[in-house]
Amino acid sequence: MKFVGIKKQNKVIYPPVIAEERRKCWARILDGTEVETSFMVKRKDKSDKQLGAIWGLMISTAVNIMEDRGYDTSFIYNWSKPTGIAVTKGDLCGFLYTACPIRNKAGQIITLSKANTEQAAKFFDDARNVLASQWAICIADPNPNWRTQI
């Protein structure tokens, strides 16, 4: 069971409802039972706006490059004959979700909005690799020194 509290005055303080559930859970454990505890600092998750900006820029860049090169949906599906249908952001997004599935700990496929930071970072890397290997579309790494280079 997982309990989330806040460190105050060198102790972990749980909200009353959580503290009661924790007490009940502890009382059900028999003496002599091996128990594992762990501590971790809860980190703020990425926001939907952050994901939207990163993902949106990647998809927009890739779709614009495909349009400039005259690629249509036949390139996404590897069809021998052109379709004449332009690749949309939705088309490319759906393709990348299929090509680079994001899985939770239970192995279920999830979307980016349900992904944690580690899963999202892996998905972005995988999507960039697919874009580069399949259509020679290179999405540059974000510049870590952007603040100092004005």
**pTM of the full structure:** 0.61
Where a domain ends, among 9, 26, 42?
A: 42
Mean pLDDT of the chain: 85
76 in any annotated domain: yes
Domain count, the chain: 2
Q: Where are the alpha helices (DSSP H) in 5-100?
A: 16-28, 48-69, 73-77, 89-99
Three-class secondary structure of residue 51 per DSSP: helix
- Based on the domain organization, do 56 and 124 belong to the same domain? yes
Q: Could you read off the pLDDT of 59-104 as tens digits, one per residue?
A: 999 999 999 999 999 999 889 999 999 999 999 999 999 999 999 8
- Predicted confidence at residue 148, as pLDDT, reads 63
Exposure of 37 by Cβ count < 10 A (0-12 exposed, 13-18 middle, 19+ buried)? exposed
124 in any annotated domain: yes
Three-class secondary structure of residue 56 per DSSP: helix
> In which band, very low, low, confident or very high, does the pLDDT at 38 lie, cut at 50, 70 and 90?
confident
Residue environment code for 101-125, b if the CB has 16+ CB neighbours within 10 A, otherwise e:
ebeeeeeeebebeebeeebbeebbe
Q: For residues 10-36, give the mean pLDDT.
A: 88
Structural domain boundaries, residue 125 = 48-135
